[in-house]
Chains A and B, each alone.
Chain A
Amino acid sequence: MEIEKGKTFKYLRDKREVPQQVKDQLKEFNRIKKAMLDAFKESDLTIDQLTQKLNMPKPEVVYYLMSLIKYGFVQTGEVDDMDEYFTYKLKK
């Protein structure tokens, strides 16, 4: 097989099957990412509010939210009066 620079993934695709669990994991991430970004479109949110909207366990919300901040989709806003919980918002 001719291997074209910049398209070498095709070479490995012929040799290696992507496991179903990896595909499922991507689907799950995309689902959560979309749900979170849609929720933020309506308003800025705390983790508590986001958890209630998405009906997901809080630790998972923290993990995915922090990942979306790292990937540049969401940003941290103000902290509450007790200096305990932050509000988060879409990155403009």
Chain B
Amino acid sequence: MMSGQSKNISFDALVVGGGIAGGEAALNLATTGFKVLLVEKELSIGGKMIMLSKVFPTLDCAACITTPKVSEISRHPNITIYTSSEVGNINKIAENNFEATIIRKPRYVVIEDCTACQLCEQACPVSVPDQYQYNLVGRKAAFIPFSIASPKAAAIDIDNCILCGACEKVCPTNCIDFTQETEEIQISVKTVILATGFKLFDPLLMPRYGFGLFKNVITSMQMERELAPTRPFNTVLRPGDGKVPDKIAYVLCTGSRDASIGNPICSQICCMYSIKQSQLLMGALPMADVTIYYLNIRSFGKGFEEFYQQAKGMGVNFVKGKIGKIRETENGNGNLILRYEDINEGIVKEAEHDMVILSVGVLPNQDASGFFPKEELKLDPYKFIYQADSLISPARTSIDGVFVAGTASGPMDIPDSILSAGSASAEALSYLIQE
């Protein structure tokens, strides 16, 4: 449904993607006095970072860092945020002159009037898997995406709504509005920053690891949720039977450094986030054994080697082993047998664990390649956005005036995403003032 409504609004910069990189870039430009439109396709800004438990190597609480940042972005008078929105297309008319079409999908809630009282959530009869808890638990069709979402306002999942009206009946501010329609908004901007982030490898593509089939094989992002303060369960539990696990295995490089599944490169973050999670698990479940199966541990960043040694000191078991196959035990206890090649000894071994976490890799999000019908936004050989001058001017893309920030240009952690956003905003700034 398209309302056909078409506005024409001007901003200095368009930032696509409201993760930590896009948010940081928007903030840098806004504090310098430029007007920014931040377009985010999800219901909340914050990207993957807002979903994390703690961050390596400092073990700071992710929500405690993200929440103030996200609220600074949301409140900045020079930043306009469109959530549930995507770019239709971007046309470069001349230097410092881009025209873009933004598609704004209806939330069916007037954000400004919603008090996040959750009465609609309580009244809604529908329950569907909660995508923000990576399907470990349900959510309603009228729902607040998660407790630290920004904007913190309800939304209606229209695809699963039965249009019973219960939410509207209880809403104290009458802010639910089923007459909202998709809007197409024309905007003019002088520069563009692409911060569309990364995608996670889908382990269903590696059936030999049993994800989907064996419920106690989960992804690292699901474990991230289980460890977060806004977790789906009261503690870390196996989704297969609700047992508190005590013999946990990590399979590093799931979907990375593996040409056979089309991703030959290292994801750069999986070693460290797995080591982080192993330390958090040892804290949450003091009796648990945690084993990390790895090919190489890549602890290249500041404080990373010490962090790795700290995990060893805490008793995390590191096995240099390549996992061939994961199967469930036959006695129905939900445990898993990992068949692996012990690389140091050169022999095939088997080990039983009661929960397996697949450390899924970073894949490119290729959305941005479709934004420019008239120009060519080049991608690198691995389909991340190509950096035209990665040594001298790392945020430049193949289109002058269009810059890239964060993991849209390749795998990186949060500090590097923030640095990359700094570089993108600095280069966008100098492009803006060249006008």
Contacts and interface: CB of A to CB of B under 8 A. Distances in A.
Main secondary structure of the interface of B (DSSP, over half): loop
B128 A62 contact: no
Nearest to B137: A66
B244 A6 contact: no
Interface string A1-44: 00101111111110110100011011001100100000000000
B125 interface: yes
A59 B137 contact: no
Interface stretch (B5-13, B19-27, B159-167, B387-395): B159-167
A30 B158 CA distance: 19
A6 B179 CA distance: 11
Contacts of B287: 83
Contacts of A15: 1
Interface in A44-92: 47-48, 58-59, 61-67, 69-72, 76, 79, 83-86
How large, as a class, is the contact surface on chain B?
Answer: 35 or more
Contacts of B137: 63, 66-67, 70
A4 to B, nearest CB: 10
B109 to A, nearest CB: 11
B168 interface: yes
Contacts of B382: none
Interface string B230-251: 0011100111111110100000
B239 A8 contact: no
Contacts of A12: 158, 163, 178-179
Contacts of B233: 66
Contacts of B165: 7, 9-10
B241 A62 contact: yes
A30 B125 contact: yes
Contacts of B162: 18, 22-23, 26
Given A16-B163, A64-B138, A83 B241 contact: no
Contacts of B136: 63, 66
B379 interface: no
Contacts of A3: 179
Contact of B171 (A6, A23, A26, A69): A6
B79 interface: no
B62 interface: no
A10 B177 CA distance: 11
Given A12-B179, A70-B232, A6 B242 contact: no
Contacts of B131: none
A8 B138 contact: no
Contacts of A25: 126, 128, 160
A61 B129 CA distance: 14
A86 B162 CA distance: 34
Given A3-B179, A66-B137, A9 B242 contact: no
A48 to B, nearest CB: 7
A79 B237 CA distance: 12
Contacts of B296: none
A5 B168 CA distance: 9
A79 B76 CA distance: 47
A15 B106 CA distance: 15
B125 A47 contact: no
Nearest to A3: B179
B401 to A, nearest CB: 41
Interface in B123-158: 125-129, 136-140, 158
A68 to B, nearest CB: 9
A9 B171 CA distance: 13
Nearest to A88: B242
B144 to A, nearest CB: 12
A69 to B, nearest CB: 8
B189 interface: no
A70 to B, nearest CB: 6
Contacts of A18: 161-163
A20 B294 CA distance: 47
Interface of B: 1, 122, 125-129, 136-140, 158-165, 168-169, 171, 174, 176-179, 215, 232-234, 237-244, 246, 287, 334
Interface of A: 3, 5-13, 15-16, 18, 22-23, 25-26, 29-30, 33, 47-48, 58-59, 61-67, 69-72, 76, 79, 83-86
Given A8-B176, A11-B179, 18 more contacts: A9-B176, A9-B178, A12-B178, A18-B163, A25-B160, A58-B240, A58-B241, A58-B334, A59-B240, A61-B242, A62-B215, A62-B238, A63-B137, A72-B122, A83-B287, A84-B246, A85-B242, A86-B234
12 contacts: A3-B179, A5-B174, A7-B165, A9-B178, A58-B240, A61-B242, A62-B237, A62-B240, A65-B242, A70-B232, A71-B140, A86-B234
Ranked nearest first, the 7 interchain pairs of A and B with the lowest CB-CB distance are: A67-B138, A9-B165, A12-B178, A8-B178, A47-B242, A59-B215, A66-B137
